[in-house]
Amino acid sequence: MTRHSTFSRKDRAAAILARALGPTLLLVITSGLGVPLAPRAALANPELRQLERSWQKLDGQLRALDSLLPAEPVALPVDLYSTPPLPEKLIRANQPASGELMLDQATPAAPLALPTASQLQAQGVQALSLEQALAVAFQGSATLQAQREQVAASLATLQAALGSWWPRISAVASGGSSQTGTSFNAPVGNGSLGLGPQFAPNSLSTPGGGSTAGAFYVPNGGRAYLNQSENQIEGGLELNYDLIDFARTPKIQAARAQLRQARNTYANQLRQLQLQVSQAYYQLQQAEQTVRIRDAAVRNDLLILQDTLDLKQAGLVPRLDVLRRRAIEASDQELLIQALADRAVARRRLAVLLNLPPQLTPEAGDPIKLQPRWPLDLDRSILAAYAGNPELDALLAAREALAKERDATAAGLLPKLSLFAAAGGNASNTNQFNITVSNGGCCGSTVIPVENTNGYSWSVGLTLRWLLFDAGTTAAQARAFDKRAAAAAQQYAAQRNDIRLRLEQAFFNHEASLAKLASARRGVAAALEAFRDVRLRYQTGLSSELDLSNTQEKLIASLVSRLNATVDVNITYAQLLRELLPMPRDPNAPIAPMLKLNPVVLVGPS
């Protein structure tokens, strides 16, 4: 009777635990604490039978879920207390810096060059500050260098347009050789024409008393053949000058506007590049600090695990505490491995922005330093962002260039007056050879074996060209430029709104990050003290391992929150600075990196 009562009390206790904790947690707790469960013969209570069925169902679901996972490439270790080493490739990618990066080492590779295997294998990690990173980026960025070339191209286009105010003088020359063969045939001669004795067959007397034909007489059927070669050369100067051209001035103005657009685009890319480098540098600092936090967490896990093993051997804690600590250590090691991968990626991201040689990998040499509060209020920031903004000025210049292109195209319907002039000389040499006659000859031509000829010529005049009809082609092209200019105006409005949104978003996030940082600092201080207390209590048996785990998790989370808030303050400051940062428009002007805004000197065109 007493034994039956005892089992009834255990059954009721198990049922109460099942309702309160659930079957899974009850199974873990009872098995971990070594509490024997009621035998199957004693599970006469319907609640306990239902509990057993729930356990069996859960076990089947876990086995089915485990069968869906792929097989492990390496067999799991039998010893659950062993700690596998970190991946060697990640360790190599996260090796510390061997020195400080010098500017002469940061010379980028040739634009069309690809890295070699030896360069990729000879990876060297070099530390640099944020100011050095910006200097390297301004000097070697491929995107920035491409924009410099665009500015140079726009300048050359303007110089070409200015040349239309001057006349165009050309030197012309030509030369050549030719040879011809000519055959003459006179079926009817000229003796019967009565043109005088020079055309008669027997009208001239010879010194011997005979008669002979005239000098120009051609008998019937007379033939002649000769070859002729000629060498000639001529040269001179030509001048063309547009006296009246209504499209010339709009084309020059359009070229000037395109040059301003290219220069403003260059200044805006300087702003954008500084923001990208700053963000990448701050994120690299964040990744490096995250690795330190995760590494400290794993080291702390190993210390606590050793304490737990010692306490278990002393019989003060159950095996469950050891297994839970091992699971926590494995989870923290996963986070450490991911943090190492994130830092390796952050290094390469910064290296790409700096366009470093393929054998160099950067590391953040500066410690994390908090930027100050933004010195301007929101209204002043917005107004200052609009003043002399190169992003907006580039759109205005593009709109002006399109308007001038429209004027130049429309000028094609107006008259155009041009002056032309030319002067030169020519010379030729003619040779006639292989002269043969038959049937008395013919044609009466004077044959000169060698003849030289030379001369000169000049001309001057005016040309008027006025397009009267082109089926509306020119007018349609002008309307197209007009619509593109209207589209540029709408792009200006959209960009104006986008700039304000970016600035307001960065401003509010900056204020929020500062406030979150203050809270995170308090959280770190409290979590650190709580962790020290709970660890001492756990070592003396006054606190459970579960309390220790929760407190450790809160401490790590508070450290990560403080780190994220600090980096967010710096990134949002860089985002605000990007909208007001003064940058030169001239690619040949020196660039001084500015990490803090001077509220006295606001942005203006330079």
Mean pLDDT of the region 235-250: 92
Q: How confident is the model at residue 401 (pLDDT cuts 50, 70, 90)?
A: very high
What is the distance between the alpha carbons of residues 596 and 573, in angstroms, rounded to a whole number?
8
Q: Which residue has the tokens 């540098």?
A: 281
Q: State the pTM of this model.
A: 0.78
Residue 272 has pLDDT above 80, yes or no: yes
pLDDT for position 103: 77
Q: Tell me the three state secondary structure of residue 389.
A: coil
pLDDT for position 79: 58
| Bridge partner list, 99 | 126
Angle at 358 between CA 354 and CA 362, to 5 degrees: 50
pLDDT for position 26: 41
- Give the helix ranges, DSSP H, for 355-472: 378-386, 390-410
DSSP state of 317: S
Q: Which is more confidently placed, 411 or 602?
A: 411
SS (H, E, C) 50-84: HHHHHHHHHHHHHHHHHHHCCCCCCCCCCCCCCCC
By mean pLDDT, which of 32-36, 307-311, 547-551 is the weakest?
Answer: 32-36
pLDDT for position 212: 79
pLDDT for position 37: 43
pLDDT for position 514: 95
Contact assessment for residue 345 and residue 353, using Cβ atoms and an 8 Å cutoff: no
User: What's the length of the chain?
Assistant: 606
pLDDT for position 77: 56
Token duo for residue 499: 């700039």
Token duo for residue 90: 């990640």
Q: Which residue has the tokens 């107006």?
A: 414
Q: Percent of the chain at pLDDT above 90?
A: 53
What is the distance between the alpha carbons of residues 146 and 226, in angstroms, rounded to a whole number?
67
Angle at 560 between CA 558 and CA 563, to 5 degrees: 110
Residue 522 has pLDDT above 90, yes or no: yes
Measuring CA to CA, which residue among 401, 370, 380 is closest to residue 265? 401
What is the distance between the alpha carbons of residues 247 and 375, in angstroms, rounded to a whole number?
50
What is the distance between the alpha carbons of residues 203 and 217, in angstroms, rounded to a whole number?
10
What is the distance between the alpha carbons of residues 569 and 95, in angstroms, rounded to a whole number?
28
DSSP state of 122: S
Domains recognised in the chain with CATH numbers: 2-68 (no CATH), 123-140+251-402+476-580 (1.20.1600.10), 168-185+217-244+416-465 (no CATH)
Q: Give how far Cα 227 sits from Cα of 430, 435, 582, Å.
A: 11, 7, 81
pLDDT for position 1: 40
Q: Tell me the three state secondary structure of residue 127.
A: strand
**CB under 8 Å to 550, separation ≥6 — which residues?**
none
Phi, psi (deg, nearest 5) at residue 471: 60, 30
Contact assessment for residue 440 and residue 222, using Cβ atoms and an 8 Å cutoff: yes
Residue 385 has pLDDT above 80, yes or no: yes
Q: How confident is the model at residue 323 (pLDDT cuts 50, 70, 90)?
A: confident
Q: Which is more confidently placed, 542 or 147?
A: 147
What is the distance between the alpha carbons of residues 250 and 253, in angstroms, rounded to a whole number?
5
What is the distance between the alpha carbons of residues 200 and 246, in angstroms, rounded to a whole number?
71
Burial (CB count <10 Å: 0-12, 13-18, 19+), residue 15: middle
Residue 562 has pLDDT above 70, yes or no: yes
Give the start-end residues of each E strand in 466-517: none
pLDDT for position 202: 79
What mean pLDDT value characterizes the chain? 84
By mean pLDDT, which of 16-30, 132-146, 188-202 is the weakest?
Answer: 16-30
pLDDT for position 448: 82
Q: Please, how many CA atoms are within 13 Å of residue 319, restricted to the half-sphere of its CB? A: 9
Residue 275 has pLDDT above 50, yes or no: yes
pLDDT for position 74: 60
| Bridge partner list, 450 | 431
561: amino acid identity, one letter: S
Measuring CA to CA, which residue among 102, 147, 381, 104 is closest to residue 272? 147
Mean pLDDT of the region 103-115: 80
What is the distance between the alpha carbons of residues 320 and 165, in angstroms, rounded to a whole number?
92
Measuring CA to CA, which residue among 307, 421, 289 is closest to residue 363? 289
pLDDT for position 110: 79
What is the distance between the alpha carbons of residues 570 and 370, in angstroms, rounded to a whole number?
6
**CB under 8 Å to 443, separation ≥6 — which residues?**
184, 186, 218, 222, 224
Strand pairing report for 222-244 and 124-128:
unpaired
**CB under 8 Å to 286, separation ≥6 — which residues?**
346, 368, 563, 564, 567
Residue 603 has pLDDT above 50, yes or no: no
Q: How confident is the model at residue 25 (pLDDT cuts 50, 70, 90)?
A: very low
pLDDT in tens, 28-45: 334 433 344 444 444 457
What is the distance between the alpha carbons of residues 440 and 369, in angstroms, rounded to a whole number?
115
pLDDT for position 63: 75
pLDDT in tens, 334-363: 999 999 999 999 999 999 999 998 888 899
pLDDT in tens, 442-491: 875 667 888 899 999 999 999 999 999 989 999 999 999 999 999 999 99
DSSP state of 230: E
pLDDT for position 190: 79
Q: Tell me the three state secondary structure of residue 249.
A: helix
